[in-house]
């Protein structure tokens, strides 16, 4: 069902993983999609090509979301290319696990920059540039509801995004814009699988009700629904997408 026809969506960090799945699902629902990437142009171009081969419209824009100037450019270039932005999905993120005592300043700053500042800068721009009656979906994480050693700073950045989203939902609601967070659990992406042993992956997969890892498509379906008019009465919410993990 093309329930996003006529809409324009921007998905940050959408050259691979959950972001790519979200971009493909939004395009399938009829939206024109901006594929944002920071380094892998080839992967971004592949997502664009896949959307276009399915009859959709997409365009890739390189931008580092931790930079205010680049977020401004991403918004402006998206509007220049497709005429407006109706849907903004903050998917770009980085997870650098370490015990709090051992986390380096570089690891701290990178997670604060991408996970928190990237969302903050985009909300600032959305306040005036997102189309009326639009939708904002911010990707958080189920680790905000768990207590996993080594996830302290990553979880803290995501918890900050959830609280900021709740506040922003009330600040921008008068324009008909809803703001929500989606909290994936363990999902089979490069970001999640990197550095984990098969035993660790199996243990984490066993923590949910279905005893499997989530898929990027599991998350994309929820994001796509939240972008529709049918979800307009949902705002300021943090929606778990973890198969009952937490």
Strands annotated E in the chain = 8-11, 32-37, 58-62, 87-90, 135-139, 178-184, 237-241
pTM: 0.95
Position 73 scores a pLDDT of: 98
Question: What is the rounded average pLDDT of the residues 122-131?
Answer: 98
Confidence at 152, pLDDT banded by 50, 70, 90: very high
Q: What is the pLDDT of residues 46-72, one digit of tens each?
A: 999 999 999 999 999 999 999 999 999
Query: CB of 185 within 8 A of CB of 246?
Result: yes
The span from the CA of 112 to the CA of 80, in Å, is: 29
**What's residue 194's pLDDT?**
79
Q: What is the DSSP letter of 15?
A: S
DSSP annotation of 16: S
Identify the structural domains of the chain with CATH numbers, from first to last: 8-241 (3.40.50.720)
What pLDDT is recorded for position 1? 65
The per-residue pLDDT of the chain, averaged, comes to 96
Query: Can you list the pairs that 148-153 forms with residues at least 24 positions away whose Cβ atoms lie under 8 Å?
Result: 149/99, 150/97, 150/98, 150/99, 151/95, 151/97, 152/99, 152/100, 152/103, 153/96, 153/98, 153/100, 153/103, 153/107, 153/108, 153/111, 153/112
* pLDDT, mean of residues 16-39: 97
pLDDT, residue 160, reads 98
Residue ranges of alpha helices (H) inside 112-178 are 118-129, 152-172
Q: Which of 188, 93, 103 is nearest to 141 (CA)?
A: 93
DSSP 8-state secondary structure symbol assigned to residue 159:
H
Catalytic residue list = 154
Q: pLDDT tens digit string along 160-190? A: 999 999 999 999 999 999 999 999 999 988 7
Query: Regarding predicted confidence, which is higher, 75 or 188?
Result: 75
């Amino acid at each position: 069902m093309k329930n996003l026809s006529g809409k324009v969506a921007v998905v940050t960090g959408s050259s691979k993983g959950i972001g790519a799945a979200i971009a493909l699902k939004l395009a399938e629902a009829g939206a024109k999609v901006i594929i944002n990437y920071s380094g892998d142009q080839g992967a971004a171009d592949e997502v664009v090509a896949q959307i276009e081969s399915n009859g959709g419209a997409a365009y890739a824009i390189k931008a580092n979301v931790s930079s205010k100037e680049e977020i401004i450019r991403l918004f402006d270039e998206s509007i220049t290319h497709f005429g407006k932005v109706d849907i903004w999905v903050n998917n770009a993120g980085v997870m650098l696990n370490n015990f709090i005592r051992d986390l380096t300043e570089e690891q701290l700053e990178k997670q604060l920059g991408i996970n928190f500042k990237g969302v903050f800068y985009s909300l600032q721009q959305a306040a005036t540039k997102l189309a009326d009656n639009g939708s904002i979906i911010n990707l958080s994480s189920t680790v905000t509801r768990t207590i996993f050693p080594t996830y302290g700073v990553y979880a803290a950045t995501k918890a900050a995004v959830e609280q900021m989203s709740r506040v922003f939902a009330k600040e921008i609601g008068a324009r008909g814009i809803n703001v929500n967070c989606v909290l994936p659990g363990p999902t089979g992406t490069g970001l999640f699988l990197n550095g984990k042993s098969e035993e660790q992956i199996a243990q984490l997969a066993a923590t949910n009700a279905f005893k499997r890892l989530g898929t990027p498509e599991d998350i994309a379906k929820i994001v796509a629904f939240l972008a529709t008019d049918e979800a307009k009465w949902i705002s300021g919410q943090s929606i778990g997408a973890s198969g009952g993990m937490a």
